[in-house]
Amino acid sequence: MDTNRLPISPKKTIITLLIPIAELLIGDALIPKLTSQWAKVICTVLIFFTGLYIAVYLYQDVLRKDWRTYKNHLWRNFAIAFLGVAASFALLAGVRFLLDSLHVTQASALSANGFLSIETASMGLVASTTALMAPFTEEIVFRHVLFYQWKNRGVLTWLMFLLSAIAFGLVHWNNFNGQLDQMIPYMCVGALYALIYYFSKNIWYNIMTHFFFDFFQVIGAILMFILAFTGA
């Protein structure tokens, strides 16, 4: 046995890989049946929280072991994470520009409803908490389980690298109403985060990069709430 290879638990791997699938299926089956918008938001948050709890519970050993190293140079590592965020936005912009220039992408539909009510802004703020959970769940699922634990296995390692990047893009299916071309940039970001994990050998580097990247959504939700509350 190659001692450089990480042990793989088939049971934990299967359960963890089922998390994003279950989130999508349960969400599609349950949420449209709810009549209250608040019920839909709360249900979505609970679904994401359940996935987060299961993923963290199954791989708490990895999180704890890597955190002990990561926290030794916390502010330096946070600075590295912000560089990763900048690289993420640059990569998204670059891939989107390339796809647009090749006429691959379709214009995404954006809704503009004018005045935003306090209730709508409040729901958006609560819903944005899922963006704070996603980095932990998704990094465990897509970067550790679907890629990193397969390292030092030759061709299989890089097949899992591609699979994890593609799967990460596809998990954003509902974000883009099934428009595959809109998911390609996120596949590239998934590949970037996998490389961060591969070279850093510490899951917290890509968790924090992903967390700060998604935190911009929360900032946007907070600003919209403030604007609605002040009537600006």
| Residue 65 in domain | yes
The pLDDT assigned to 116 comes to: 64
Is 38 a member of any domain? yes
Residue 64 confidence (pLDDT)? 97
Amino acid at 29: A
pLDDT tens-digit series, residues 91-116 = 999 999 999 988 776 655 444 444 56
Please list the ranges in the chain whose pLDDT falls under 70. 1-3, 105-116, 232
User: Longest Cα pair distance anywhere in the chain, in angstroms?
Assistant: 65
Q: What is the pLDDT of residue 114?
A: 47
Structure tokens at 141: 């699922």
Residue 150: DSSP 8-state: G
The answer to whether 129 touches 4, Cβ cutoff 8 Å, is: no
Residue 201 lies in a domain: yes
**Residue 229, pLDDT score:** 79
Residue at token pair 């002990």: 68
Q: Is residue 1 part of a domain?
A: no
Is the Cβ–Cβ distance between 147 and 197 less than 8 Å?
Answer: yes
**Model-level pTM?**
0.92
**Residue 79, SS3?**
helix
Q: Identify the pLDDT of residue 111.
A: 46
What digits encode the pLDDT tens for the residues 147-178? 999 999 999 999 999 999 999 999 988 778 87
Closest residue by Cα to residue 210 from 87, 98, 123, 128: 87
The pLDDT value given to residue 77: 97
**Is 150 a domain residue?**
yes
Residue 2 belongs to a domain:
no
Residue 4 has a pLDDT of 75
Confirm whether 84 is domain-assigned. yes
Please tell me the predicted confidence (pLDDT) of residue 5: 86
Q: Determine the Cα–Cα distance for residues 72 and 69; give it in Å rounded to an integer.
A: 6
Burial bucket for residue 227 (CB in 10 Å: 0-12, 13-18, 19+): middle
For residue 190, the enclosing domain spans 10-230
For residue 174, what pLDDT is reported?
Answer: 79
Q: Residue 45 burial by CB count (10 A; 0-12/13-18/19+): exposed, middle or buried?
A: middle
pLDDT of the residue at 109: 47
The total number of structural domains that make up the chain: 1
- Distance in Å from the first CA to the final CA of the chain: 64
Domain assignment of residue 5, yes or no: no
